[in-house]
Amino acid sequence: MKKITLFFLVAWINVIFGFDVFPQTADFQSWAETPPMGWNSWDCYGPTVEEHEVKANADYMAKHLKKYGWEYIVVDIRWFVENDKAGGYNQTDPRYVIDEYGRYLPAVNRFPSADKGAGFKPLADYVHKKGLKFGIHIMRGVPKIAVECRLPVKGTDISADQIYSPEMQCAWLKDNYTIKDVAGGQEYYNSIIELYASWGVDFLKVDDLSHPYHKTEIEMIRKAIDRCGRKIVLSMSPGETPVSEAQHAAAHANMWRMVDDVWDTWGHLAHLMKVAESWYPYISPTWPDCDMIPLGRISIRGERGTDRMTRLTPGEQVSLMTFFAIFRSPLIFGGDLPSNDAFTLSLLTNKEVLKMHRESREVRHIDNIVTSRNAKTGERYIAVFNTSEENKDFDIDLINKGLIQSSKVKATNLWTKKEVKIENGRLKASLKKHESILLKIKEI
């Protein structure tokens, strides 16, 4: 009883006087002990997703994917704009929805359940009842409209025009200004995170944080999440995040983007794989992020091209999923889930591949090979990628490369589920351009 009374006394002091008396949470990394898996609306709906589409994707995930570990449903950019359109942001006359404290609210014409100040809570409740988790995207900073209208920062006598700077404004979207490290700046971030926590948000993707790297605002966001009383996974976007800031990123976020947007071309994947070479030492317990998975039906109302099934060949799709999984990237699917065909669904529901993604450790890169080890069983995973523009025959001495200790091994292709011969410790494989092979190897 004394502990409960003390808790409410501390809470009362915090609310009445505005003191930050709750200590920062030190265990936020445990909120995503394995790489997050979910769906994001960006690749298929750009800035225009509507509530019924979010629900349809949640319904599909609950029915077909939840049992495999997929759990997050994330509403991406500009959910607070009534008149946005795909194919380029409507920046000439955006109709923002915002409250009296300068905090964006969902556009009711797109999210009807947000009416009467309900915010995203009804939609989050819908997702939670499916046994899933709910997330949203925001831009770094304070809304320009809040600054122009001098709206107050909740719980203070400071207004938005006292906490902003026009410097370092996002180069590609001008909705917000930078928040300065001044009185009221931390309080503004506290106020929006408190609002999201009250809605039931479990995942927060914050854009324009990593490139360039906004260290001060990252620390403000971390502090605001730690004091809000809800476990909210923090995703920093977009990249390229500087490798020089890897330790800072790992100390403040659950995941962070390594590159800019990855779309459905081989060039995007090849660039990602090259950049990722610098990030292997920083995998686990926080996660370098390969970006969303541009498979299935994308760009229904998106930002790159017209409504289509992914342009990647089946072999390239397998290579993408192989790399994302063995690298232990967060797996955030970008296509419209209800539009999945059988092949796309098979890429998302391979139990052995997902087990590797969840349980492997010691991820390493050697030439065209990525390898890891199952922390529970000791089994070795080996992925070989043909990144060239020609078909290629591989003859790899696995013992000489230190990938296996004995020539007596059993190797299984995790995608085809067929046994692969390893003779005298050598793996021989013929791969077409951009294709790959993923093996689980067990010594016998």
Are residues 276 and 383 located together in one domain of the fold? Answer: no
* Residue environment code for 80-99, b if the CB has 16+ CB neighbours within 10 A, otherwise e: bbeebebeebbeeebebbee
User: What is the model's pTM?
Assistant: 0.93
Tell me how far the alpha carbon of residue 89 is from its chain's centroid: 22
Amino acid identity for residue 78 in this structure: R
Are the C-beta atoms of 253 and 222 separated by less than 8 Å? yes
Query: What is the domain-level CATH number for residue 151?
Result: 3.20.20.70
Is there a domain that residue 34 lies in?
Answer: yes
Are the C-beta atoms of 421 and 427 separated by less than 8 Å? no
pLDDT at residue 12, as a whole number? 42
- For residue 274, count CB atoms less than 10 angstroms from its CB and return exposed for 0-12, middle for 13-18, buried for 19 or more: exposed
Is there a domain that residue 102 lies in?
Answer: yes
Tallying the residues shown for the chain, one arrives at 444
| pLDDT of 175 above 90 | yes
Is there a domain that residue 20 lies in?
Answer: no
CB atoms within 10 A of CB 155: 17
| pLDDT of 4 above 50 | no
Sheet of 436-443, strands arranged across: 360-366, 369-374, 380-385, 436-443, 409-413, 419-420
Are residues 252 and 163 located together in one domain of the fold? Answer: yes
Q: Select from 292, 321, 349 the last residue of a domain.
A: 349
CA 333 – CA 234 distance, rounded (Å): 17
Query: What is the domain-level CATH number for residue 376?
Result: 2.60.40.1180
Are residues 336 and 388 located together in one domain of the fold? Answer: no
Query: What integer is the mean pLDDT of 320-345?
Result: 98
Are residues 345 and 374 located together in one domain of the fold? Answer: no
pLDDT tens string 231-259: 999 999 998 999 999 999 999 999 999 99
pLDDT at residue 1, as a whole number? 38
Are the C-beta atoms of 153 and 102 separated by less than 8 Å? yes
Tell me how far the alpha carbon of residue 434 is from its chain's centroid: 25
* Residue environment code for 45-72, b if the CB has 16+ CB neighbours within 10 A, otherwise e: bbbbbbbebbbebbbbbbebbbebbbbb
Are residues 159 and 216 located together in one domain of the fold? Answer: yes
Total domain count for the chain?
2
Is there a domain that residue 18 lies in?
Answer: no
Instruction: Calculate what percentage of the chain has a pLDDT beyond 90.
Output: 88
| pLDDT of 20 above 60 | no
Are residues 275 and 216 located together in one domain of the fold? Answer: yes
pLDDT tens string 100-136: 999 999 999 999 999 999 999 999 999 999 999 999 9
pLDDT at residue 89, as a whole number? 75
| pLDDT of 182 above 80 | yes
Are residues 342 and 375 located together in one domain of the fold? Answer: no
Is there a domain that residue 176 lies in?
Answer: yes
Q: Select from 349, 384, 405 the last residue of a domain.
A: 349
Are residues 200 and 311 located together in one domain of the fold? Answer: yes
Q: Quickly state the pLDDT bin for 322 (edges 50, 70, 90).
A: very high
Is there a domain that residue 164 lies in?
Answer: yes
Distances (CA, A) of 50 to 85, 107, 108, 124, 183: 12, 9, 10, 14, 36
Are residues 193 and 300 located together in one domain of the fold? Answer: yes
**Structural domain boundaries enclosing 86:** 29-349
Is there a domain that residue 3 lies in?
Answer: no
pLDDT at residue 303, as a whole number? 87
pLDDT tens string 398-407: 999 999 988 8
Give CA torsion, residues 217, 219, 225, 231, to 10 deg.
120
- Phi, psi for residue 356 in degrees, rounded to 5: -60, -45
| pLDDT of 23 above 90 | no
Distances (CA, A) of 441 to 108, 383, 411: 53, 11, 4
pLDDT tens string 60-99: 999 999 999 999 999 999 999 999 988 777 667 899 999 9
Are residues 282 and 406 located together in one domain of the fold? Answer: no
Instruction: Calculate what percentage of the chain has a pLDDT beyond 70.
Output: 94
Are residues 208 and 287 located together in one domain of the fold? Answer: yes
Are residues 408 and 261 located together in one domain of the fold? Answer: no
Q: Select from 281, 315, 349 the last residue of a domain.
A: 349
Query: What integer is the mean pLDDT of 254-277?
Result: 97
Q: Write out the two tokens for 328.
A: 């232990």
pLDDT at residue 90, as a whole number? 64
Q: Quickly state the pLDDT bin for 22 (edges 50, 70, 90).
A: very low
Is there a domain that residue 90 lies in?
Answer: yes
Mean pLDDT, all residues of the chain: 93
Collapsing DSSP to helix, strand or coil, 235 comes out as: strand
